[in-house]
Amino acid sequence: MQLLLAVVCSGYAVGAALGWGSEELAEFMGDFGLSAAGLLAAVSCFTYARAIDSRERPAWLLFAFSSLMGGCGNAVWGWYEVVLGESVPKPSVADFAFLCFAPPAIVGLLVLAKRPVTRAGWVCLGLDSWLIGGSLLTLSWSLALAHAARTAQSGAPGSVPRAALSLAYPLLDIALVSMVLVLHFRRSEANRSAVNTAIAALALTVLSDALFTSPLLSAEYQSGQLLDAGWFAGSLLLAYAPWGARRIHGGLPVPEPAARARAERTHSRPITGSLPALTPYLAAAVCTLGILYNVVDGRKVDRIVVFTGCTVVLALVIRQGIMLLDNIALTQELAQKENHFRSLVQGSSDVIMIAAPTGTLRYVSPAAAGVYGREAEELVGTELAHLIHPDDLGRVVHEVRRFLAAPPTEEPTTRIECRFKSGEGVWLNVESTVNRHQGGLILNSRDVTERVRLQAQLQHSAEHDPLTDLPNRALFTRRVRQALTGRRAGDHSTAVLFVDLDGFKAVNDTIGHQAGDELLVEAARRLQDSVRAGDTAARLGGDEFAALILGDGSRDRSAREYQVHEIADRLRTTLSQPYRIAGSEVRVAASIGVAFADPGITPSDLMRNADLAMYRAKAGGKNRVEMYAPQMQDEVVRRTELAGRLRTALHDGEFALLHQPVVSLATGEISAVAAQARWRSAQGILFTPAEFLRVAAESGAGGRTAVPDASRTAELGRWLLEEAVGQAAERHRAGHDVPVAVRMTAQRLLDRSMPLGSVEALLTRHGLPSGALVLELAVSDPRVPFDDLERRLAALRRLGVLIALDGFGSGYAAIGALRRLPVDVLKLDRGLVEGVVESPRLHKITAGLLRIANDLGMQSAAEGVDLPEQVLALRAMGCTHGQGSAFSGPLDEYRLRRALVRGTFPVPGGAAQPAWAGGPSGGSMAIRRGSHNETPVPPA
């Protein structure tokens, strides 16, 4: 649009300069061409005024009316010259239209001007306008207007209208020029481009009017001359003004950031900013110089000039008085604000500093004495770089340069934290908010040393064990990740050691948790002292520790493994040394697992491998070092799969019930059968209770402890009791009156989740006769209440249930249970039977226990009788029943019934008379030891 505007205006100017080729075309272009340009400006301004909704709308409507009047005047002028071929009469309708051009434009400029806030501002606006207009009137009157006034006074016909018309044009132009100049210095920031273009268009029009009314051109002017190019360009420029600005800014007010940036550029040019204040004085000087010029030249000074000059001076005096009063009020307000802000700055606990662009401190608030321990006067003139810690200086300089290079509208402030040197030479942690200030910086700083120290403490607490102050699992994992990435990513000689203290639980249980904590602290100190400076020792939790041994870049894997194994073994020896705790000597051992950073391994996998190796060391006998091997993971997968199958094995019918005969050592007759559960895995392997419960415990606890799941054990116990009672009832109905023995722990018998009377209801439901069920009671927990257990057993004995004390001779409360509980059968532990032939000492102990049972009128049985020599020895001591592979292993139901039909097993040494016969029920006796190392079961 700008290029098109320039081409059209230039074309018109060239045509006017060349006379358009003919007088008729020159008159047509000089009249109707200007009329068309004025009408175009009117339509453009009117359309723009309807498209906007702001305080500028009336101004553009007035500009549209002003351009319409100019276009109509040129159209009337062309009607006379081009259509009628006559000279334009003076005055005419065209003169009326031209005179109506200036007043709307003047009012429109007043609308666009920045409105004063106070009455004094309005008065100053009027005075400024008169100062400019009066000076121009003085100058114009001296040069041309006085001649027109004298012509009106001559009394010639028609002289008065012509003189009035001659005076009206320049007076209105002077008023318009005054408003243009005043608006130029008082224009608002809204839609600035459009306003500037409109001012330029009106200024060009006024200039052309001034040239037209000058004595040099007015007499010789004809339509189509070069002077018309000024009016034409002014009209087109006014037509372009709103749309050119709309094209740049979308017809909207200039955004606030742009206005702020422009204001900053204005403040950076003090001479440009002071011109509005100097303009009235310059206008008065022009007026004064015009009068002095006439006086010095000897001309008669016109009264109009003297009157106008006096009013200009009077306006200047009034304006000066208003400005003086305004300055006094501003000075008082500035003093109050200065005192207010000085109180804020001096009373603030933050240190406010102003630094020059060179980095030199120009101002420091008094708070520096309390924050930095240095007086403000001491810091003024100091280089800021000399006060910042050398390690932080580079970062601070980089941040400041980046901040100063960023646009102020996008990043008005920034925040910098660094260490600042105090008066005592101590480095303080300082946080500063930084702002720009005349090319330099304003820093609002505060001491955050305590906050930084607290954050460091919190960070340390989050990453370290509170008891030993070693790195915890989170920090250890992060350091393992760092060791596997970055410049160490290709070093596969890095190793992780997992350490577990064997026997630590016993320390806690025997001498207390306080002693256990002291032992852990001492163990952590030994571990920390044993690793290198670059390595990491950590406590993962409980009595588990870990160490990260960074690689040395060695490519010899075997040599590196040997080296790390030596480190681990030395660490094991150190941790296994006696500890002096609470005045006594305590010993624990250390099981250590080692894993290396194989290519592509993740931190979690590396730590898992070390964990697996550590538990392999514990399973292999403890107090040893184990290197990770891939098959360890395969075993974990196998155990996990096995445990998964075990969870559903009971519901899927994968458990089988076997019975092992309990044989009379005197006659070989089957006196009872002991019920035993077996689990047949998918591979066809039969697992004993101890084996499959250990699998369940290891999978459930990640291989850490062999504690079976209590709910799974209880479910299996219920199944075993119901199956054993049900099959025993079927055998009784088939004519095999042999009691069945079922092992049950004291805790299970007293478990509140097991309904009280469930055993009684089970016997009633299956119709099992009295004396056909033997409960083998295992008492292994010291917390079992004997009073409750005694009452429960007494109730069962009243129903004819026989009670056998299982595992006698080992474990907890053997004598106490024998003394307190109503027991019918005493069952010797396998540990006593295994060495009864070889060990004289064990022989005497077993014989003594059997004499006690015989004296108390109890039956006796031995479990694990696997050799003929054991049968002979036990029979000679008075033991009458035995269970073991010397007679038979566990049998399925088919083989069991065949054995019951046969009735007896061969007895080594032939038949012998029993030491006693019969029990409390007067029948045969049934015993079953819950051993888990029974003879393998033959195929069913």
E strand or H helix at 264, and its extent? helix 256-267
User: What pLDDT is recorded for position 939?
Assistant: 39
Backbone phi, psi, residue 54, to 5°: -155, 180
E strand or H helix at 680, and its extent? strand 670-680
What is the Cα–Cα distance from 285 to 323, expressed in whole angstroms?
Answer: 18
Q: Do residues 888 and 902 touch, judged by C-beta distance below 8 A?
A: no
User: What pLDDT is recorded for position 929?
Assistant: 33
Residue type, 614: M
What is the Cα–Cα distance from 358 to 351, expressed in whole angstroms?
Answer: 20
Q: Which of 531, 504, 528 is nearest to 518 (CA)?
A: 504
Residue type, 567: I
User: Going by C-beta distance under 8 Å and a sequence separation of 6 or more, which residues neighbour residue 379?
Assistant: 353, 361, 364, 368, 372, 387
What is the Cα–Cα distance from 630 to 613, expressed in whole angstroms?
Answer: 10
Q: Do residues 173 and 144 touch, judged by C-beta distance below 8 A?
A: no
Per run of 10 residues, the mean pLDDT along the chain (length 940 residues) is 85 83 82 88 89 82 88 85 80 77 75 68 70 61 50 47 52 58 53 75 74 62 78 86 59 42 44 53 67 65 69 76 82 80 69 87 86 85 88 90 87 90 86 86 88 89 92 92 77 88 86 89 93 90 92 78 90 92 87 90 90 88 89 76 69 84 92 89 69 56 47 77 91 91 85 68 88 85 76 87 82 69 88 87 89 89 91 92 92 91 86 39 38 36
Concatenated DSSP letters for 266-315?
A: HHT-HHHHHHHHHHHHHHHHHHHHHHHHHHHTTPPPPHHHHHHHHHHHHH
Cis peptide before 89 (omega within 30 of 0): no
User: Going by C-beta distance under 8 Å and a sequence separation of 6 or more, which residues neighbour residue 444?
Assistant: 350, 351, 352, 432, 433, 434, 435
User: Going by C-beta distance under 8 Å and a sequence separation of 6 or more, which residues neighbour residue 842?
Assistant: 832, 835, 836
Q: Do residues 67 and 42 touch, judged by C-beta distance below 8 A?
A: yes
Geometric angle at alpha carbon 346, from 342 and 349, rounded to 5°? 140
Q: Do residues 127 and 319 touch, judged by C-beta distance below 8 A?
A: yes
Q: Which ranges of 440-575 would DSSP assign to H, the alpha helix?
A: 449-463, 473-484, 504-511, 513-530, 557-575
Residue type, 646: L
What the block records as the tokens of 336 is 């109050």
Q: Do residues 662 and 671 touch, judged by C-beta distance below 8 A?
A: yes
Q: Do residues 236 and 41 touch, judged by C-beta distance below 8 A?
A: yes
Residue type, 93: V
Q: Do residues 351 and 371 touch, judged by C-beta distance below 8 A?
A: yes
DSSP state of 669: B
According to DSSP, the β-strands at 579-581 and 773-778 are unpaired
What is the Cα–Cα distance from 42 to 238, expressed in whole angstroms?
Answer: 9
Question: SS3 of 67, please?
Answer: helix
Query: Could you tell me the end-to-end alpha-carbon distance of the chain, in angstroms, rounded to an integer?
Result: 105
Residue with tokens 């950590």: 538
Residue with tokens 């004499």: 851
